[in-house]
Amino acid sequence: MGYSKTDELAINTIRTLAIDATFAANSGHPGAPMGMAPVAHVLFNKFMTFNPKNPDWANRDRFVLSNGHGCMLHYALLHLFGYALSMDDIKHFRQVDSICPGHPEAHDTPGIEVTTGPLGQGFANAVGLACAQAHSAGVFNKPGFELFTNHTFMFFGDGCAMEGIASEAASTAGHLQLGNLIAIYDDNHISIDGDTKCAFTEDVSKRFEAYGWHVQWVKDGDHDLQGIEDAIQKAKEVTDKPSMIRLTTTIGFGSKLQGTGGVHGNPLKEDDIKQVKEKFGFDPAKTFVVPEEVYDMYHKHASEGAAAEQEWDSMFEKYASEHKDLAADLKRRLSRKLPEGWQEKLPVYKPSDKAIASRKLSESVLEAIHEAVPELLSGSADLTGSNNTRWKNAVDFQPPSLGIGEWSGRYFRYGVREHAMAAIMNGLSAYGTVIPAGGTFLNFVSYAAGAVRLSALSHQRVIYIATHDSIGLGEDGPTHQPIETLAHFRALPNFMVWRPADGNETSAAYYVALTSTGTPSLLALTRQNLPQLEGSTIENGIKGGYVALEDKEAQITLVSTGSEVSLCLEAVKYLKDEKNVAARVVSLPCFEVFDAQDKEYRLKCIPDGIPALSVEVMSTMGWEKYSHEQFGLNRFGASGPYKDVYKKFEFTPEGIAKRAVATIDFYKEVKPLRSPLQRAFLQLI
């Protein structure tokens, strides 16, 4: 109880570091760090348990700065507590290749849990982290062994509060009764356009109550450290609801421009810095100053965290002797390695096996591997029966009090909340004990684009199960039929887009998705049935592309994915019978993985000397890398039975053959006719 001069000094040290760093960078956001330094100080120093020397400790408290533009707040804290983030790093805030980039990036900076900045994302990530904690506790905690007890703390501002993704995530968290989640709302009345009265006059507290949250209000977030402490303490004591603490603060506290938008996204001016530092008792002539007693105070707390980890390690040792399998499982999960031999469970198909929709093939994979891969947590954004994401005996991930599931349940009912689903999955993945897979229609992954991008940027092993992948969904029509979607996600760096053509390719897609620890994946799956292909094997599939039908005399290569590969095989027969043209077929289920194969292999697939024609019932964009000519759909689709829709757009053996012949004719005279894989220079990656 009680706060001293040192506390005040620590708070002002955080503030002046944010001031100095943004000034040095001539860029950045000093306002939020200056306004939130008091609550950050209380939270980190009084409540949070962590060990800066091991930012990966499994049971550390998690902190998420959803208003990520205020990241100098977090960088300052990480430095002061002794994470591997030096004063020199802070001096290089917002400089190329610094570990203090303009917004927090999980992959590069120790102590940053998730990548935030795009507003609302961190909010939903925190919900995911809290879900992962509840789930891990449900799976691993045993009487006397409370392995997973950590809290997830999250700061968010008015910007996050306005974003739909945060609304979706807050509704989810309320439903799930996440007592381990404590969110602090920086109620400073300021967003970039100025006073929130211009656009945001709702009653945020009442809204969170409606979601089922426990809500408090601390009216003087600038000074009332004890009030902040009491509120956080009370929030911890509420264990059957997530907590939201509305904290009224002054943005840019101390600045001449405090309380205005002027201090949100611009460094303070020199004279303003001078007066702030004087007011705070700092020497205006000096920059990047940390009083020794501040380091001492924070290092003391850090060493308590290190001790807590040691204690946990001892507990874990005992746990390992009493619950050998669970302990081994947990260790393995944390290493991000899959159980040995799991891949032998993957379904294998013969060409004589019956035609099945790839969404059903995906279901068979989940059915086959879910026992072998216990960290897999499936789910859907309210399309379970359509996405086929649920194995038969799955238990729902639910608070036990609802009577419809368990914390240890492995099926997540995300509701119709695609964007939050994706960002919650990013949080689940970031926790370290779970591999999340979530379903929706491919077209509606676009609703989640903001979060999908961050799956890729922050290297999360997240799997998007995206069914109803084309005009092949038929009657639902153009509002539901993806055209641009695969181009969009294929253009996203560090992201694997799979469009398997049959059962073996679907198994291959899961194999690569699950074993790629730092890359998210999307599986585009059909509603309609697909035959099992002759040349398809899991081994071929995991190369991202392979020759599905070879013909040494071929005059053209047909390159295709998913439902159009079998159509191309039909077109080959038609070409032979009706046009006396020999053709070969390449299946290319994943561009990104195919690109990673050696050039010799790739050129065997798409060789020099004959033209290649791509066939895919959506935007042709991106196919020029793998084909000379492209047959696709650069317009919206149509509502009708899918065979009629395919016919309307000439996706028939005849339609393909016509274009194949035109392509052969067109390239006859070109010498040398190089494979489109032959490039003049390599791209930077």
Catalytic residues: 418
**Lookup: tokens for 36:** 């939130």
Which range, of 178-186, 541-549, 574-582, 614-622, touches its own copies by CB under 8 A? Answer: 614-622
Closest approach of Cβ 528 to its own copies, in Å? 13
Q: What distance in Å separates the CA atoms of residue 410 and residue 412, rounded to the nearest whole number?
A: 6
Beta strands in 159-210 (DSSP E): 181-187, 190-191, 194-195
3-state secondary structure of 393: coil
Residue 250 or 494 having the CB closest to its own copies: 494
Closest approach of Cβ 29 to its own copies, in Å? 10
188 annotated to bind ligand? yes
135 annotated to bind ligand? no
Map the footprint of its own copies across residues 321-380, applying CB under 8 A.
380
**Lookup: tokens for 42:** 């209380």
61 annotated to bind ligand? no
Asked if residue 567 lies in contact with residue 647, where contact means CB atoms within 8 angstroms, the answer is no
182 phi and psi angles, rounded to 5 deg: -125, 115
- Nearest Cα residue to 528 out of 641, 381, 651, 637: 641
**By the rule CB under 8 A, 189 interacts with its own copies:** no
Asked if residue 495 lies in contact with residue 522, where contact means CB atoms within 8 angstroms, the answer is yes
Closest approach of Cβ 563 to its own copies, in Å? 18
Cis-peptide, bond into residue 672, ω within 30° of zero: yes
**Lookup: tokens for 255:** 């600045």
**By the rule CB under 8 A, 307 interacts with its own copies:** no
Q: How many residues bind its own copies (CB under 8 A)?
A: 138
Which range, of 3-11, 57-65, 188-196, 232-240, touches its own copies by CB under 8 A? Answer: 188-196
Map the footprint of its own copies across residues 59-98, applying CB under 8 A.
68, 94-98
Distance of CA 277 to the CA centre of its chain: 40
Asked if residue 548 lies in contact with residue 569, where contact means CB atoms within 8 angstroms, the answer is yes
Neighbours of 526 (CB within 10 A): 26
List, in sequence order, every residue forming a beta bridge with 145; answer none if it has no partner.
142
Residue 225 or 496 having the CB closest to its own copies: 496
**By the rule CB under 8 A, 453 interacts with its own copies:** yes
Per-residue H/E/C for 6-38: HHHHHHHHHHHHHHHHHHHHCCCCCHHHHHHHH
Map the footprint of its own copies across residues 103-162, applying CB under 8 A.
103, 105, 115-120, 158-160, 162
Residue 213 or 510 having the CB closest to its own copies: 213
Computed over its alpha carbons, how large is the radius of gyration of the chain? Answer: 28
Residue 601 or 666 having the CB closest to its own copies: 666
Q: What distance in Å separates the CA atoms of residue 4 and residue 297, rounded to the nearest whole number?
A: 11
- Nearest Cα residue to 483 out of 529, 520, 446: 446
Which amino acid, residue 456?
A
Name which position in 144, 201, 325, 580 contacts its own copies (CB under 8 A): 201
280 annotated to bind ligand? no
3-state secondary structure of 192: coil
Residue 287 or 620 having the CB closest to its own copies: 620
Residue 371 or 475 having the CB closest to its own copies: 475
Which amino acid, residue 499?
R
**By the rule CB under 8 A, 401 interacts with its own copies:** no
Q: What is the DSSP letter of 261?
A: G
Map the footprint of its own copies across residues 524-563, applying CB under 8 A.
none
Beta-carbon contacts of residue 80 (< 8 Å; ≥ 6 apart): 10, 13, 14, 290, 294, 295, 298
Residue 54 or 620 having the CB closest to its own copies: 620
Asked if residue 211 lies in contact with residue 272, where contact means CB atoms within 8 angstroms, the answer is no
Closest approach of Cβ 665 to its own copies, in Å? 7
Q: What distance in Å separates the CA atoms of residue 217 and residue 174, rounded to the nearest whole number?
A: 18
Name which position in 132, 165, 268, 338 contacts its own copies (CB under 8 A): 165
Name which position in 62, 151, 246, 419 contacts its own copies (CB under 8 A): 419
118 annotated to bind ligand? yes
641 annotated to bind ligand? no
Closest approach of Cβ 260 to its own copies, in Å? 12
Beta-carbon contacts of residue 230 (< 8 Å; ≥ 6 apart): none
Closest approach of Cβ 629 to its own copies, in Å? 5
Q: What is the DSSP letter of 45?
A: I
- Let me know how long the chain is: 685
The pattern of x and - marking residues 469 through 488 that bind its own copies according to CB under 8 A reads -----xxxxxxx--xx--xx
Name which position in 167, 243, 258, 614 contacts its own copies (CB under 8 A): 167
What Å distances lie between residue 467 and 413, 436, 480, 562, CA to CA? 17, 16, 11, 12
**By the rule CB under 8 A, 681 interacts with its own copies:** yes
Residue 212 or 339 having the CB closest to its own copies: 212
Closest approach of Cβ 631 to its own copies, in Å? 8
Name which position in 402, 539, 578, 599 contacts its own copies (CB under 8 A): 402
Name which position in 238, 449, 603, 677 contacts its own copies (CB under 8 A): 449
Q: What distance in Å separates the CA atoms of residue 400 and residue 393, rounded to the nearest whole number?
A: 17
Map the footprint of its own copies across residues 620-679, applying CB under 8 A.
620-622, 624-625, 628-636, 638-641, 644-645, 648-650, 658-659, 662-663, 665-667, 669-672, 674, 679
Name which position in 46, 91, 175, 345 contacts its own copies (CB under 8 A): 175
359 annotated to bind ligand? yes
Binding region: 29, 69, 117-119, 158-159, 188, 190, 264, 359, 386, 444, 468, 476, 480, 527
Binding region for substrate: 29, 264, 359, 386, 468, 476, 480, 527
Binding region for thiamine diphosphate: 69, 117-119, 159, 188, 264, 444
